[in-house]
Chains A and B, each alone.
Chain A
């Protein structure tokens, strides 16, 4: 089975120094791969590189990102636009700011259906209704006519999830999709993403800083620190037998509800110093 997304030896740098160092990872068909790391580890950078929206300040210095045999990094803009939305989609982080405040939900949801899949307005609208049903939104007819500010954060994120799946892409990038949500809603949304992903057989690249979150829905995990891949493997392996000290420290840092007396342990100072030395400063 060939990987849907194949990142090979990706290195990137900004004015301040290296951002990614020789990162390699593969997302296989139908698989959910987690990209875990703390802030600044480079996971957002990888996601942006795949989607072709790297900020001008960051340049790729080596490696490639292969999708269906093509290197996305060397693809001209027009062709990249063909892929985006249809074969590669995004579930964004902030449902508050990722929807256009001046357009109705229905209009935004049917953009892709009308413009890329060629459906007429009526059919697109009907399809959007079905999509809202898939993400368990009550009163979908009403929601389609609403504006984003009239929905709750959880509902908005569901709309964005529906949007991502709408054109049945090969792979979806989820950029910390539950970070901006209430804890009570997070679990539902996570389960939703997992079920939809499994039903459609879509590959998923799930970016997060929270090992606890990704453990629930991902098949494999890649741990990132300082732009370098520290550890990679199936979820079960990584969580039960973490190879790298950093991963072990991350796991230990997660609070456990069944052991409230155990203190939160931050990542040890000397480990950080050693990692920094490995990364050359």
Chain B
């Protein structure tokens, strides 16, 4: 039964992705500014411009351009970047690991922090501690990534310079690597100093992205925990003489986590969207930063490639969450 559910979700997601691709394709083609004009050297002739246009297939009618491009995409050919003069797929794959590591790190931070304040707030309910945490949480929810990021730049970059505020790692340390997955490869190779350096660079942007998500998790999980804590089996656990901390962690948390996961699922995808501006603020070399540059330069092939990439990431995240929800709920697992 879960299999059919997953399949139908996949189909729905792909349809959405296609819709998005079409929209973006049309949008960037409607660009008033002429991308080709940005690439030519002064003094080029009409013939040169026409040739360049033909090379990029920009002289064909719109629907045929889409057909051509779609066919290419299915073959894995994402075209060549206009601004960077390289194969689009290569560029994206080069920068993708940095964003993935950053997003995962931010996710881990958000889950850890969110769960912690939810548990704390439940354990100390009806006290000033709970009110304090609620207030703090509201602030965290209201403030967008943009402001957090720049505040961190100020506080930890200038005021109390603890962490670097740009880049991904010290150039002297990141030599001789085969992949761009710095953390994973660093772990495999045992280069602890390198890992520490990468983490130091990642902590600020990751923290920026994690705070709004942590606030959402904190609030949602607390609500589900409060719902669970009045259930009969919790009362029985108390009558069995189990300690309050054991009840919270062993009995309540696992039942509260599942609905909380379902409710926060959408927020995870916002995290990926958040990489765009956060990477920009911290000059972090991932696909978010790349996307901003691509748009400023009106680099059509690159923009399209990135749209597909982000769309695929969303689908992957959504499907992972669906799978996790199904797996965690024993009732669904055995259905």
Q: Which residues of A contact B (CB under 8 A)?
A: 51, 53, 81-86, 89-90, 92, 94, 97-103, 111-112, 115-116, 147, 149-150, 160, 163
Q: How far is the CA of A98 from the CA of B237 in the complex (A)?
A: 9
Given contacts A147-B334, A149-B331, contact A100 B251 (CB under 8 A): yes
Contacts of B243 in A (CB 8 A): 81
Check if B239 sits within 8 Å of A84, measured CB to CB.
yes
Q: Given the known A-B contacts A100-B237, A101-B330, are A111 and B255 also in contact in the complex, defined by CB atoms under 8 Å?
A: no
What are 20 A-B residue pairs whose CB atoms fall within 8 Å in the complex?
A51-B239, A53-B238, A53-B239, A82-B241, A84-B241, A86-B241, A89-B239, A94-B232, A97-B232, A98-B233, A99-B236, A101-B330, A101-B331, A102-B258, A102-B330, A111-B240, A112-B240, A115-B242, A160-B236, A163-B240
Q: Is the CB of B232 within 8 A of A98?
A: yes
Residue contact A103 to B251, C-beta cutoff 8 Å: yes
In the complex, what distance in Å separates the CA atom of A85 from the CA atom of B231? 18
B254 at the interface (CB under 8 A from A): yes
- Size of the B side of the interface (Cβ < 8 Å), in residues, is 21
A163 partner residues in chain B, CB cutoff 8 A: 240
Question: Do A147 and B330 have beta carbons less than 8 Å apart?
Answer: yes
CB distance from A204 to the nearest CB of B (A): 16
Q: Cβ of B237: which chain A residues have Cβ within 8 Å of it? A: 100, 111
| Complex Cα–Cα for A98 and B233 (A) | 4
Nearest chain B CB to A213's CB is how many angstroms away?
21
Determine if B239 and A97 form an interchain contact, defined as CB atoms under 8 angstroms apart: no
Quote the shortest CB–CB distance from A105 to chain B (angstroms). Answer: 12
Determine the distance from Cα of A148 to Cα of B41 in the docked complex, in whole angstroms.
74
- A223 CB to closest chain B CB (Å) equals 26
Residues in chain B near residue A92, CB distance under 8 A: 232, 235-236
- Which of chain B's residues have a CB closer than 8 A to the CB of A149? 330-331, 334
Q: CA–CA, A96 to B240, complex, Å?
A: 17
Within 8 A of A (CB), among B218-276: 231-233, 235-243, 246, 250-251, 254-255, 258
